[in-house]
Amino acid sequence: MDTWISSQPSLSLDLHVGLPPLGRHQAPVALAKPKVLVEENFLQPLKKEPEVAALETELQRMSQENRRLAEALTAVAAKYEALRSQYTEMVAAGATTTGPSSTSEGGSVSPSRKRKTSESLDTAAAGAQQHPHGPHGGEQHPGGAAADQMECTSGEPCKRIREECKPKVSKLYLHADPSDLSLVVKDGYQWRKYGQKVTKDNPCPRAYFRCSFAPACPVKKKVQRSADDNTILVATYEGEHNHGQPPPAPAQQAHDGSGASKNAAKPPSPPRPAAAAAPHHPHLHNHHHHHHQQQQQQDVVAAMSAGAGAPGGAAAAAASELIRRNLAEQMAMTLTRDPSFKAALVTALSGRILELSPTKD
DNA sequence: CGAATTTGACCCGCGC
DNA sequence: GCGCGGGTCAAATTCG
């Protein structure tokens, strides 16, 4: 994590693809050159033909858009930095006084209580007994749900214990198509939806999922669209998986299930090397970033989220590399999809070729 | 027909 | 004590 976002010149680099000469980076993006060709060769020999004019305006439009994107990214980076430093301060303060803060990210997680019925206690106890040896993921429960509840039943002031056990909550922000009503977050695990609720502060319903891969797995997940921007899905993970990564499913629903939440609990196709720590470092990247633009955006946001919680250095580098690549691919895709851009590119290239041709008079 | 999802009802912590 | 609201349960429904 750390300053990966602000220390990545490559980030803004990609956003400036297509801008008028910035003279800033040697963008490894193949699109930079064709644009220069367009300007050099078109405008002079052909003068201001309507096509050229259109192309120019289009270029300007794209430049403006890129600039806006760059500004937005800068703002986001600044906010991120501010939040991060704030968080660091809070952690430092907490470490010198009482200990872990009750919330891990953003601190906005409502104090989730646990149902206190005997049944749920039985379940929790059973879950705890299923892996008493606690190797694997089990030992990664510094304050697992089972332990939490056991403490409570023993008459301890469970409220505070619960607070201290909370840091297992992590949030993941994903970009999602607003027209896609399903609250599907592909993170490699199998989830069973057990509830849905409209909350007070958000008109969009919140979906509740439980990990269905292992019966005793205590992990839960809440997915809700952001109230501010409903293209953003907010997935809140609670707990840690006490089992390994589910095997990858046959690649079929790789690009999202159109049928609402039918796929909500199905594992996604991409094979994932990372193991059980997904909720905290959900590396939704790498293997499927070429599927869709949207999936790429999901990856980017996920990577940013993961980067925010990962130890700096390698993770940051990986995240930034991923982001760079995704942005470049997105832009390339967007541009190549635009027929007018293609036409202009072809014309420019052919014009250039003709110009450079020795058979010119 | 079994498994997954939906959805209304219920539980329970919290603030007043 | 009461109401509110988030979280969970479980019967009904849907789907493969």
Instruction: Indicate if the alpha-carbon torsion angle A262, A264, A266, A269 is positive or negative.
Output: positive
CA of A182 to C1' of B9 (A): 24
Question: Is the CB of A201 within 7 Å of strand C?
Answer: yes
Question: Is the CB of A57 within 7 Å of strand C?
Answer: no
Question: Is the CB of A117 within 7 Å of strand B?
Answer: yes
Question: Is the CB of A360 within 7 Å of strand C?
Answer: no
Which residue lies nearest B3, CA-to-C1' measured?
A192
Question: Is the CB of A76 within 7 Å of strand B?
Answer: no
Residue A172 · residue A234 · CB < 8 Å: yes
Mean pLDDT by 10 residues, chain A (361 residues): 40 38 37 37 47 79 77 70 66 46 35 37 38 36 36 39 55 73 74 89 88 81 83 84 64 37 39 38 39 43 42 43 55 55 59 52 43
The CATH number of A169-238 is 2.20.25.80
Q: Rounded CA gap, A176 and A165, in Å?
A: 31
Nucleotides of C under 7 A from a protein CB: 4-10, 15-16
Contacts of A14 (CB under 8 A, 6+ apart): A27, A29, A323, A324, A327, A328, A331
Q: What is the pLDDT of residue A336?
A: 52
Q: What is the pLDDT of residue A359?
A: 44
Q: Decide: helix, strand or coil at residue A73.
A: helix
Sheet strand arrangement including A232-238? A169-175, A232-238, A220-225, A205-211, A191-198
Sorted by where each begins, the domain ranges of chain A are: 53-90, 169-238
Question: Is the CB of A192 within 7 Å of strand B?
Answer: yes
Q: What is the pLDDT of residue A67?
A: 78
Would you give the distance in Å from CA A321 to the centre of its chain? 14
- Cα pseudo-dihedral A198, A241, A232, A104, rounded to 10: 90
Residue A193 · residue A263 · CB < 8 Å: no
